[in-house]
Amino acid sequence: MTNIKISLLAFVALSSVAFADVAETTDVESKYTNKGKVEASENLKQSINLGFSSTTGNTKTVNANGRYDFSFMTTGYENNPLKVAFDASAFFTENNDVKSNEEFVANLGLEQMIANGWLGYTGLTWLRNPEFRNYDNKFSVGVGVGKELYNEGQHRLVAKLGTAYNIEDYSNNQETEKFASLNEYLEYDNALNEVSKLYLKVGGMQNFEEFKDDYEVIGVLGVNFAVGENVNLSIEEEVAYDNLPAIGFDKTDTKTIVRLGYNF
């Protein structure tokens, strides 16, 4: 029987209000840097997204999912813009009235603009997904710097580099791991036209203690379309690779996501 994954909202989410006010579906940036890629304004902006997705790797499911986002910006260091972001969501699969494959995520990030495209960031992430990747609880707090390398209107390229402290508590008998890491993030945006945007995001992490062996990478390719006033459609493909996954788990997971969003 097809597994149906109901995605519920655990807390409040703060996400990118991207080109044409279109929200992107996967938070690669928050996993490895902060949740600061927020084209925010002083006014509160919110969005609700509902859709379907399928997963392969450690789970093979067809999913229904949903998400809520909000964003805002305030004044920070030397009156430069300070972007604030908070994201939280919950996911589970229900099959024959049995809930499984649960995943809960929360992200908090601050991004301080400095000068000439440079910025500083800090971020906090919490993850729980016992069936997906064996994390009973995973915490990560990081700081770093970033720069907008290129922006001529249609094309935009941003890079971030930082460090993080991670705590990984597993749902099986595997011992809890605590380690510092080097985190990287790269994003390319292409405004295809006035109502659509193509984006590519790549995030990575290396454990300083096992730099060559303990690393993970997530890549996302997606496109956003404005299909009506304050309404958008997102289509996205995500590939996640963990070179040292939890014991008994696969190294590679994929997600194909289609969502319809309403911004207000």
Rounded Cα distance between 121 and 107, Å, is: 13
Rounded Cα distance between 155 and 188, Å, is: 7
Predicted confidence (pLDDT) at residue 20 exceeds the cutoff of 70: no
Rounded Cα distance between 247 and 169, Å, is: 13
Which stretches of 45-195 are assigned E, i.e. beta strand? Answer: 45-56, 61-75, 81-95, 98-113, 118-129, 135-151, 155-170, 177-193
Angle 101-102-107 (CA atoms, 0-180°, nearest 5)? 135
Rounded Cα distance between 169 and 199, Å, is: 32
Rounded Cα distance between 98 and 90, Å, is: 16
Query: With bands split at pLDDT 50, 70 and 90, how would you rate the model's confidence at 26?
Result: low
Residue 226 in contact with residue 197, Cβ under 8 Å? no
Query: With bands split at pLDDT 50, 70 and 90, how would you rate the model's confidence at 102?
Result: confident
207-255 confidence digits (pLDDT tens): 999 999 999 999 999 999 999 989 999 999 999 999 999 888 899 999 8
73-87 confidence digits (pLDDT tens): 888 888 898 888 887
CATH number listed for the domain at residues 4-263: 2.40.160.40
pLDDT for the residue 7: 32
pLDDT for the residue 15: 30
Per-residue b or e along 246-263, where b marks 16 or more CB atoms closer than 10 Å to that residue's CB: beebeeebebebebebeb
Rounded Cα distance between 169 and 187, Å, is: 29
pLDDT for the residue 9: 31
Query: What are the sequence ranges of the domains in the chain?
Result: 4-263
Residue 220 in contact with residue 242, Cβ under 8 Å? no
Q: What is the 3-state secondary structure (H, E, C) of 207-241?
A: EHHHCCCCEEEEEEEEEEEEEECCEEEEEEEEEEE
Query: With bands split at pLDDT 50, 70 and 90, how would you rate the model's confidence at 97?
Result: low
Predicted confidence (pLDDT) at residue 166 exceeds the cutoff of 70: yes
Average pLDDT of the chain is 82
- Name the residue with higher pLDDT: 97 or 187: 187
125-163 confidence digits (pLDDT tens): 999 988 778 889 999 999 999 999 999 989 999 999 999
Predicted confidence (pLDDT) at residue 37 exceeds the cutoff of 50: no
Residue 223 φ then ψ, to 5°: -140, 140
Predicted confidence (pLDDT) at residue 121 exceeds the cutoff of 50: yes
Rounded Cα distance between 51 and 231, Å, is: 13
- Name the residue with higher pLDDT: 46 or 187: 187
pLDDT for the residue 30: 65
- Mean predicted confidence (pLDDT) in 45-68: 81
